Amino acid sequence: MARIPDLIRDFKLETYFLPDCTVETVHRFQESDSASGQRLVTRLEHWRRQRRVGNGGFGSVWLEKCIQGGRPGDIQDGAVRAVKQIDKDTRFGSIDYNRELEAIAKFSHSRYERCFVKSFGWYEGPGQLFIAMEYLEIGDLFAYLYQKPLPPLPEAEAKEIAYQIIDGLCMMHENGFAHRDLKPNNILIKSHPPDKWWIKLADFGITKRIEESHGQSTTLKGTPRYFAPEIWGFAERGSAYAIDIWAVGEIVFEILTKKPAFATPGLLAGYKAKQDFPVTMLTDAGVSQPGVDFVLSLMCLRPNDRMTATSAISHAWIQSPMLQPLGSMRTIKGEPQVPSPATIMTEVSASWTTRTYSEAPEDVSHDMPSSTTTVELVNAAQDKTIVPQEKRKIHSPLGTRVPVIMQGQGQVETLEFRPAEFRSQHLTGDSFYRQKRYKEAETMFRQALQGREKTLGPDHEDTFYSAHSLGLSLYRQKCYEEAETVFRQALQGRDRVLGHSHEETLSSTHWLGLSLYHQKRYKEAEIEFRRALQGREETLGYNHKDTLYSANQLAMSLYDQDKYKEAETMSRRALEGREKLLGHDHEETLNSTHRLGLSLYYQKRYKVAAPMFRRALLGREKTLGYYHRHTLYSAYWLGLSLYYQKRYKEAETMLRRTLQGREKTLGHDHKETVNARECMDKAHTRALGL
């Protein structure tokens, strides 16, 4: 080891081993004896190993019993402790784990013991490092959550656990320490229902330090599903504190759902690509919106967007009255009891699992591929200043300013809006939208929009984003007039702030056109689609998929104004681009093919229209199926094109094919079925020369 700081040196136990050090260890203490009045006495404390109670990446955890030399009022004969044994590999030279030992020593102080497993000291053996600590028989949070096929914990219990984890992180971060390996396995349980919840944090990444010293600093170790996106390279690196915050979010997510938010790096990569957080896993589990907001605020993709531990402990979900008020905390026989979440403290010791449960279910996987990132400890001086506890403010997750909230000891604190919470509402709306739960999406987008207008202002990009998304959810519910209003709001703001050629401005333009189109205001829609098309050609390119969408919609608005020649030109434009970009048999290509056929048909150019309908028919049969409604449309219009070319027998065959399909899928009395039957009868009559 490198030079040992005084704090660590003072925490080292003077130790020698009996011949078989795997059985009995002796610690030598020189101290005063007030009972006998002796200034200096030597006491030998004997500990005998009982059994293995846990395992870690570089060693084991043993249960030991004091068999001789205990001190009355402190560690007495018969007391037990857990001893973490870390096996050192001397092939890699000396290892500097002073920082981790410093954390263990510091956070074993009595002022921190409510949050951390207390350590009694450390010592070294031949090739091993030993850390003695309190024994928590119940075990760790992971085993508790998954030992039985029980439902997730109630939200109130999840909130209590979350508070206690963050309380510990506040202490660590404000003292310049990052945990680096936070996960349910490193959260030990002192008590749980029917008693009050009391958990303690353990293991300050000392095994990570050894991994790095063993030449593994470019390899991901540990439990990767708790690794933040920046560890995988999915986001720019930020503070190591932010990595702890992400881990809290994942832990709380699992407590609430008994499922991981991102079980594999691939799912996390999808979150980066699509900004698609699995919000519905929370809502389907019955989690309240403030609870959802809390998790999302911890698990922002960018480290700098996440809450700090200080702000997390002041979050409205944590501070809600569901939990015990400050006055409920008591001290029994001098032992500090677990504080309620309303108690704001700002000041963490370590251990491993000390009890072995049955294995977790198979669907709870801890294995993920390795990558090339590790996390470093940070000093408080290297990170941004943390707001002192007494100046922290409480925030409402719904963006509503609450005048005051009473805190412990008569303290009154004001609430302020939190943009991160409106972002979480927007993400919730996104998740609902992707699942086609448009009414629920509308509700969330409205809340996000109102909050962002108040906190960010009407001209902020995020405000426009929420307005546009609200328009989409209204459009999908066929609320076209209201969607038009919201899209105009988004468009005007984006045009003013971002410019008329910006991609997002053009998106709002296109969707405004769609809202007008479905109100049968085709001329107004044409204007918006032309503007979107011209802008997208300049900004995105001639054959970009969004450019082609605008071209296709412009063709439709022209067609519905009976401007068939112009519609033909624009349909050909969309068709040629989609054939190049998507291929001949893509559904969108086939839509443009069919649309071109209609434009030709209504110009009475039946001979040219028929091949377009035939191409659309063959492609749709292949892509959509023989009886798909769009397939039958193409068959119907092909039949009519043949009829008006006086190819009555061919027309009868195609219309009969349409009739049979519609009878099968729509029923005999559906108006489209009736129409096909009438047209087929006419073709049959003409084919007979009647």
DSSP letters, 173-186, are HHTT---S--SGGG
The residue-averaged pLDDT of 162-189 equals 91
3-class secondary-structure state, position 560: coil
Report how far residue 399's alpha carbon sits from residue 466's, in angstroms, rounded to the nearest whole number. Answer: 14
How many C-beta neighbours within 10 Å does residue 74 have? 9
Pairing of strands 415-416, 394-395: parallel
Burial class (CB in 10 A: 0-12, 13-18, 19+), 34: exposed
Considering the segment(s) 141-326+337-393 as one domain, its CATH architecture is Orthogonal Bundle (1.10)
| Strands 331-332 and 405-406, bridge-based pairing | unpaired
Domain boundaries, the chain: 6-133, 141-326+337-393
Give the architecture-level CATH label for domain 6-133: 2-Layer Sandwich (3.30)
Question: Who's near 638: CB < 8 A, 6+ residues apart?
Answer: 610, 613, 614, 617, 654
> What digits encode the pLDDT tens for the residues 560-589?
999 999 999 999 999 999 999 999 999 999
Q: How do residues 238-250 score in pLDDT, each as one tens digit? A: 888 999 999 999 9
Between 686 and 31, the higher pLDDT residue: 686
What confidence score (pLDDT) does residue 24 get? 86
Residues in CB range of 65: below 8 A, 6 or more apart: 47, 48, 50, 78, 79, 80
From the list 647, 637, 642, 644, the residue with the least C-alpha distance to 616 is 637
558 vs 599: CA distance, rounded Å: 10
The fraction of the chain above a pLDDT of 90, given in percent, is 52
pLDDT of residue 56: 64
Give residue 85's pLDDT band: very low, low, confident or very high (50, 70, 90): confident
Q: What is the pLDDT of residue 281?
A: 93
Any idea what DSSP says for residue 138? T
State residue 95's pLDDT score.
55
Mean pLDDT of 599-612: 97
Band of pLDDT at residue 196, cut at 50, 70 and 90: very high
**In the chain, what is the straight-line distance between the N-terminal and C-terminal CA atoms, in Å?**
106
Q: Which two structure tokens, joined as six digits, stand for 232?
A: 């995988």
Q: Is the backbone peptide bond immediately before 325 cis, with ω within 30 degrees of 0?
A: no
For the cut 90, the answer to whether the pLDDT of residue 644 exceeds it is yes
Query: Is pTM, for the whole model, over 0.95?
Result: no
